[in-house]
Structure 1
């Protein structure tokens, strides 16, 4: 798996270049599936900086259309507001119509999935059946976060698959939420991760932070590797991001810098993002040895 990095080419240019650099890794897989769900980020439907930009969606849909005979769905379950309001506000209808993609509401059918409560015991929440059963392309802006340091492509899908009213249930403390995000991200089939850092967010993310003109994109068929590279480029040690750290600790993925790179050198475009005001507290996600043993059976269980 390759992590592609592009900088200085504008939002569309960066995304297009990254996707071309990983085309060989994703093309056959998507054609075999015949169907894909593009998952933008709309944590709120009323602030563009906090959501996937229409130009990012446009660049991804153009790439997917170039692959061949694919049914392309676009869908999100926002935390604040309705999906339809977000689609209208952010111009997704026009972009999807241009590329023959279908806007959907993924919350129509749901299944129960298991996450962690504050005692690291099993908690059941409702998740989108569509997001669990369809290969997903995650298209997310790079943002700091109020609970897990950064929110990128993995968290976009992990929390995004939960129905409205269910998302808040995984906020069971720093330890539990990182375990839950890791577990949920593994239940989804994320075939392609795109982190759009053309205009990122620092400070009081994921909704109320400040804009950062960064002009980068990171993409990979490994969401964990894409996110770990993006986190490092934001000045964050990816091994201090709990849900990313578990991928490496459990031997499932390697994190930056132990990744194969294509495109522009990440170190030339690294900057120190201002983190959320609670970022020191957020580091308390780390488990004791006893807690690891308690969480492990559910953490590694691939049954929803």
Structure 2
């Protein structure tokens, strides 16, 4: 095929280039400005308290005290309190909620709520062994007046079912601890700050979303684990947590 692009044509286009460069940008070059709307519009922002100190128990108490006006009206409507620790490990204290954190929360609740208070967790390992290792039974004994009990949500085996996505984008059911979804419960998420390979950091929301899925009871067979169903890849994990 004969080349029809002559030297004269090339010079013609070269001369026209400066003029073309000054033409207004097209829609493709300058996309319209888009202002995304919030996924869940809210009327107001949450109030947060942030304190600094050396004594864990006192810090927890004083932090809750600082937002007492936000907590107390909601607390009055509830029948019981659930404290959800974050015991991703049942043997490593650095990866689990400290007993003094629970004491600080119970110190705050003592003059405001007479109980019952449930410390409830569904660890990936043996929840009750974790309680023993981290000295939670001593905490419950110290606060008998508030009717504190220790519950293994896996062993309690009360749940609600929701659908999630698999890595292949298929819908699958998971069992979530019913106690953490109980409208009569005032839930306190006692999370512990940790880095995470998928969601960057473990904070209070992840403590609830990945603490709610259950697995088999300690002696139950066959074994099953709905927590694993949340981990379907980076995108699916975030989507499943949002659900």
TM-based fold match above 0.5: yes
The aligned residue for residue 278 of structure 1 is none
The answer on 1:118 being equivalent to 2:167 is yes
| Alpha-carbon distance between aligned partners in 2 of 1:62 and 1:121, rounded to the nearest angstrom | 46
- 1:22-61, Cα deviation, whole Å (9 max, x unpaired): 1111112112112111000111101000000011111111
The aligned residue for residue 106 of structure 1 is 153
The answer on 1:2 being equivalent to 2:47 is yes
| Alpha-carbon distance between aligned partners in 1 of 2:62 and 2:114, rounded to the nearest angstrom | 22
* 1:88 counterpart SS class: helix
Quote how far apart the aligned CAs of 1:172 are: 0.3
The answer on 1:172 being equivalent to 2:232 is yes
Q: 1:96 aligns with which of 127, 136, 140?
A: 140
Conserved in 1, the CA contact under 8 Å of 2:59 and 2:104? no
| Alpha-carbon distance between aligned partners in 1 of 2:90 and 2:178, rounded to the nearest angstrom | 22
The aligned residue for residue 34 of structure 2 is none
Quote how far apart the aligned CAs of 1:10 are: 2.3
Quote how far apart the aligned CAs of 1:65 are: 2.0
Question: Equivalent residues in 2 for 1:13-52 (5 A)?
Answer: 13-52=58-97
RMSD: 1.4
* 1:6 counterpart SS class: coil
* 2:153 counterpart SS class: coil
Conserved in 2, the CA contact under 8 Å of 1:36 and 1:71? yes
* 2:160 counterpart SS class: strand
* Structure with more contact order per residue of length (Cα contacts < 8 Å, sep ≥ 6): 1
* 2:163 counterpart SS class: strand
| Alpha-carbon distance between aligned partners in 1 of 2:127 and 2:111, rounded to the nearest angstrom | 27
| Alpha-carbon distance between aligned partners in 2 of 1:78 and 1:181, rounded to the nearest angstrom | 17
| Alpha-carbon distance between aligned partners in 1 of 2:112 and 2:93, rounded to the nearest angstrom | 29
Larger Rg: 2
Give the structure with the larger helix fraction: 1
| Alpha-carbon distance between aligned partners in 1 of 2:189 and 2:169, rounded to the nearest angstrom | 28
Q: Which runs of 5+ in 2 are unaligned?
A: 1-45, 216-224
Number of aligned pairs?
A: 182
Quote how far apart the aligned CAs of 1:113 are: 1.5
Conserved in 1, the CA contact under 8 Å of 2:230 and 2:237? yes
Question: Equivalent residues in 2 for 1:1-304 (5 A)?
Answer: 1-79=46-124, 81-100=125-144, 101-107=148-154, 108=156, 109-133=158-182, 134-164=185-215, 165-183=225-243
Q: Which runs of 5+ in 1 are unaligned?
A: 184-304
